[in-house]
Structure 1
Amino acid sequence: MAGPSSAAAVRLTKRTTPRTLALMGLVALVVIAAAALPLLAYGLDAGSVHAVTEGLTSRGFWTAVAVGLAAQTVDGALGMAYGITSTTFLLSTGVPPAAASVHVAEIFTTAFSGLSHWRLGNVDGALFRRLLIPGVIGAVAGATLLTSVDGEVIKPFVSVYLLVMGLTILSKAFRTLKTRREPPRAVVPLALGGGFVDAIGGGGWGPVVTTTLVGAGQDPRTSIGSVNAAEFFVALASGLSLTLLGGLTHWTTIAGLVVGGLFAAPIAALLVRVIPARVLMVVVGLLIASLSLVNLAGLFG
């Protein structure tokens, strides 16, 4: 007999159709374009317009579109790993760890993700509030440390961290977890640590916090929903901190990640229906671990 979680899953499948998600992505793109029009009208001269056009037709922009599409597809299907997937790919293309690119782009994607989970009733208000403040504090602390250290020095550590996260996702695919009704413990230090490593590693909030909560037996639906809702504020804190402390660079990368991410939602919805989550986790875990090993080999080779 189907329980409450089964009913919720049916409800989610019916309401979150590819057509609905595609419409959300289109609306978001229109909003972003409308917000950019005043800047284009009043803040750009002919030379700047040429630079923007050149940037949007560059190889780097379209590489970022592909990365954003892949990362958001993974995140939409698994409920985690957008930042880790994006950062792993971008590190291999030479984008430094301290660049705000992933975190700024993640503000847009996590906003829609968190709103969707809230609308579908997947957010536990009490858990969300316990995650919010320490997550933001950890993100600001991580961004501050990251911008005070030379990017070339920290690259190997970030690659090792991403390797560990890839193996964590891989191991999660082979674990059978039991759900329990007890309230989660040690949420504040978990969120503090999750926000900190997310800022430093370019991702990790979902794999660290969600994996720990679900691994401890908490309800997967409300754990994923609450963590995703809080992630918007963590990404906002990281993105703003890195921008204020290190400046906003690699704008073509940010634009590409956002555009790719916006159009990934219907693809993720289809993958959820067709491919088992366990298979996706194995693929993503192997991909992240392999790319991290390649990055490490390049750094020390």
Structure 2
Amino acid sequence: MRTLILLALAGLGAQLVDGSLGMAYGVTSTTLLLAMGTNPAAASATVHLAEIGTTLMSGAAHWRFGNVDWRVVARIGVPGAVGAFLGATALSHLSTDLAEPLMSAILLGLGVYVMSRFTFRGLPKGQLGKPLRKRFLSPLGLVAGFLDATGGGGWGPVGTPALLASGRMEPRKVIGSVDTSEFLVAVAASLGFLVSLGSQGVDAVWVLAFLLGGLVAAPVAAWLVRLLPPRVLGSAVGGVIVLTNVRTLLRVGGASVPTTPVYVVLCALWTAAVAYSIRAHRAERAAQEPSVETVTAGV
């Protein structure tokens, strides 16, 4: 019973982060299952089966709060589903050991870019509102879907920073659209695992525990992301990407340097970046608000 409660709480926490920052449900949940001794394919299958329900609830909540661009959902979600099915099928036969550090290095670079861009420049205005082209979204969805299925997570870490870096969508709509399109990815990946593995290694009770926790958190996260200022949200997302991928690179590379000081320094820099973004946001908002004297003079 304690294991099921732990899994439900992990699902709740993972969905709260995923729904508000656009990533981390699969990474967090899969990491926990692997630590419990589950084999990679079964862990990824368990998480994706739970995600069918959590992403459906999350997408509905994001749509309710106006966080979804349906054109982006269709253009990234359909190729993402194809990539997820292929990735799920390949996971039983292929090793991703070589791809993991390369992917993490690319994502680390994107994370540093996103965090620095939103921290020091705020939300990019020049490209905001311009349509994202299909020739950009389709390959992005295909790659992200494949990595998501083979790595137990990757749809958000790949899709969210790439769309944020484009500067053409508000952060809340990036997160809402990525979360909503993930439903197609979860369904396709689950089908791929069921075709390749059947139900081998998948515990239905564990799936249910993850699902229940995620369903509770999904509407809360969709509401939260609508309230957070875009500049602060961008800095927060960038920090998550950096921390996650530095951890992966240190683990895969077998670095001899102590990891704790590295995490402490990164967390301090991340905290400083978010704090700077909050101050800058307040200054921008204060500058936009008319002063009392101006209002009085106008009257």
Q: Which amino acid aligns with 1:83?
A: G
Equivalences for residues 1-301 of structure 1 within 5 A: 57=1, 59=3, 61-99=4-42, 100-149=45-94, 153-154=95-96, 157-158=99-100, 161=103, 165=107, 168-169=110-111, 172-176=114-118, 177-178=124-125, 179-185=127-133, 186=135, 187-220=137-170, 221-248=172-199, 249-251=201-203, 252-265=205-218, 268=221, 277=233, 280-281=236-237, 284-285=240-241, 288-289=244-245, 292=248, 296=252
What's the TM-score once normalised by structure 1's chain length? 0.66
Unaligned runs of 5+ in 2: 119-123, 257-299
Q: Which amino acid aligns with 1:253?
A: W
Q: 1:96 to 1:130 in 2, by over 3 A?
A: same
Report how many residues are paired. Answer: 240
8 Å contact from structure 2 (residues 65, 222) kept in 1: no
Q: How far apart are the structure 2 equivalents of 1:82 and 1:164?
A: 20
Write out per-residue CA displacement over residues 102-124 of structure 1, whole angstroms, 9 at most, x where no aligned residue.
11111111001111222333332
Q: How far apart are the structure 1 equivalents of 2:90 and 2:195?
A: 13
What's the TM-score once normalised by structure 2's chain length? 0.67
Q: 1:170 to 1:90 in 2, by over 3 A?
A: farther
SS of equivalent to 2:77: helix
Q: 1:170 to 1:268 in 2, by over 3 A?
A: farther
Q: Which amino acid aligns with 1:250?
A: V
Q: Which amino acid aligns with 1:237?
A: A
Q: 1:118 to 1:274 in 2, by over 3 A?
A: closer
Instruction: Select between 107-116 and 167-176 the one with higher mean Cα deviation.
Output: 167-176
8 Å contact from structure 1 (residues 159, 295) kept in 2: no
Q: Which amino acid aligns with 1:104?
A: L
Q: How far apart are the structure 1 equivalents of 2:214 and 2:194?
A: 21
8 Å contact from structure 2 (residues 79, 139) kept in 1: yes
8 Å contact from structure 1 (residues 91, 295) kept in 2: no
Q: How far apart are the structure 2 equivalents of 1:85 and 1:169?
A: 18
8 Å contact from structure 2 (residues 62, 222) kept in 1: no
Q: How far apart are the structure 2 equivalents of 1:64 and 1:291?
A: 22
8 Å contact from structure 1 (residues 92, 295) kept in 2: no
Q: How far apart are the structure 2 equivalents of 1:159 and 1:258?
A: 30
**1:290 Cα shift?**
6.3
SS of equivalent to 1:264: helix
Q: 1:147 to 1:128 in 2, by over 3 A?
A: same
